[in-house]
Amino acid sequence: MAAVTLIGSPVSPYVRKVLAACAVKGIEVELDPISPMYGNDDFERLSPLRRVPVWVEGDLTLCDSSVIVQYIEETRPGPSLWPADPARRAKARWLEEFADTRLFDVLGWRLFFQIALKPRFFGTETDAEVVRKARDVELPMILDYLESQTPETGFLFGELSLADLSVAPAFVNAGAVQVHVDPARWPRVSAWLERMESETPLGPLNTLARALMRTPLAAHRDSLPEFGLAAAAVSLGGQTPRAGPMTPL
Ligand SMILES: N[C@@H](CCC(=O)N[C@@H](CS)C(=O)NCC(=O)O)C(=O)O
């Protein structure tokens, strides 16, 4: 098989989802850790929505984390990323979908992007009402639902699966803007997130993401080897931030 380049910064929960899936399967990738907002014209040719992650393997280019992990599952040996039972597998896929849409909308766009990225990259003000509603109304509803889906021990479907690796990553981005899960109100989710940190390949990737959030973009490539990741020879990073067709500005 051709060597794989994964494009996208591990600050992105979707990139960490794919990197964690690669770790479970024992797949080595070279990483081009760019922010999608700094992607150059070549990046846009590969990723028409200017989104990460992008998987490049020889002539094959794949966009979208769910498409990529499904491809990994179908082409690589190693432990399955999904529960074996079809009903549980379908439920795990639903939680992946819930994470990729509603959960990321609130934790990623309405909290992390609004507070940390929008002012920094685009010089526009944080919308305080969007943040208030996300933190005080929308996130509690999400957490009430997740609490009902989370077991007291182990992972969402017993063994670690793509459901866990899809739902957990964005909580790091929320934490970076001081939004945390209250263990008194959501004890199961809170304890499960701790298990994800200490018992799964997502933990070291989350540590890398937190380190990158404190590091200037230009130095991100140099931070990778310390975390056992190889940097891609060529980077598709540009100099000026650009919004994509779906960036909620
Ligand atoms: N459904 C996509 C979503 C990917 C996505 O939204 N990635 C964010 C980074 S966390 C991105 O590239 N955003 C840039 C933009 O939309 O402008 C997936 O699963 O890969």
Instruction: Kindly list the domain boundaries of the chain, sorted by start residue.
Output: 4-80+214-231, 86-202
| Matching fold, domains 4-80+214-231 and 86-202 | no
Phi then psi dihedrals of residue 70, to 5 deg: -65, -40
Q: Which atom of ligand 1 is nearest to the CA of 13?
A: 10
Q: Which fold has domain 4-80+214-231?
A: Glutaredoxin (3.40.30)
Q: Answer whether 14's CB lies under 8 Å from 52's CB.
A: yes
Tokens of 60: 């094959």
CA of 170 to the centre of ligand 1 (A): 12
Q: Answer whether 19's CB lies under 8 Å from 217's CB.
A: no
Per-residue pLDDT for 153 more than 80? yes
Query: Position of tokens 């990460």?
Result: 52
Q: Is residue 220 lining ligand 1, measured as CB closer than 6 Å?
A: no
Please provide the size of the chain in residues: 249
CA of 51 to the centre of ligand 1 (A): 4
Does the reported pTM lie above 0.95?
yes
Looking at domain 86-202, does it have CATH number 3.40.47.10?
Answer: no
Over the stretch 168-225, which tens digit does the pLDDT of each residue have? 999 999 999 999 999 999 999 999 999 999 999 999 999 999 999 999 999 999 999 9
Pairwise CA distance, residues 15 & 9, whole Å? 7
Q: Is residue 111 lining ligand 1, measured as CB closer than 6 Å?
A: no
Predicted pLDDT at 99: 98
